[in-house]
Structure 1
Amino acid sequence: MDQRPQRGPRGPYRRHTIEFKRAVVEQSLQPGASVSRLARQHDINANQIFAWRKAYHEGRLDAAAFVPIVLTDTDGLDATERLDPPAVAFGRLTIERKGARLTVEGRPDAQVLAQVLAVLLR
């Protein structure tokens, strides 16, 4: 007999911290660990754990994967003066805010990126 509490109709997606995801993945990687048992224990889908394991192996569950961005008063400077030249020709920038995720890959135009950031971080 299932003794877990019954959940109501499907609501908004649950958000888990990177620390929680990493802890569950590390538990799943222990010898003899059962992904399905861990999923039941944490009331999540086993496929979610496998997705987190993939992200873990790709280095996307590092504590420093997402860092806050703080904009300071930059009135009087144009976008090219505010941004340092990139150290490499290719990169990836991911910003999460208010449930939205913006990923910029490559080498974006500095003025366009400044405008997008200004709107996103209001």
Structure 2
Amino acid sequence: MDTNPRTGRTHKRGPYKRHPVAFKRAVVEASFAPGASVSRVARDHDINANQVFLWRKLYQDGLLGDDEPALLPVRIDAPARPPAPVERIRTMVPSGTLTIEFGTVRLRIEGRPDADTLEQVLAQLAARC
């Protein structure tokens, strides 16, 4: 129900109009015509201009389509040639032994040492001498 603030009277709103999608599209397309005024198009069709603006947005977003979705034809072709086989890339992990003798300290590292850890160990050894 709506209330008129000046008179305090209330009146019941009528039912909402249900417009078919084809009508909405026709109104929107008329509003996009060169020199067309949304207000005039709305007046000509006895609807509110704000409703036309809403329909225009839906139309531009692709949401004001036909009643039924259109299906597009699809064709799947066989690949021109089979994909090349993927080969595993083998990386060589350096192996070996690193021995550091510093005075009475002997440090032996086997395999692949982490650079940051090795740097810290060498810094500590250098600080003790």
**TM-score between the two structures when normalised by the length of structure 1:** 0.45
Which structure: larger Rg?
2
Larger RCO: Structure 1 or Structure 2 (Cα < 8 Å, ≥ 6 residues apart)? 1
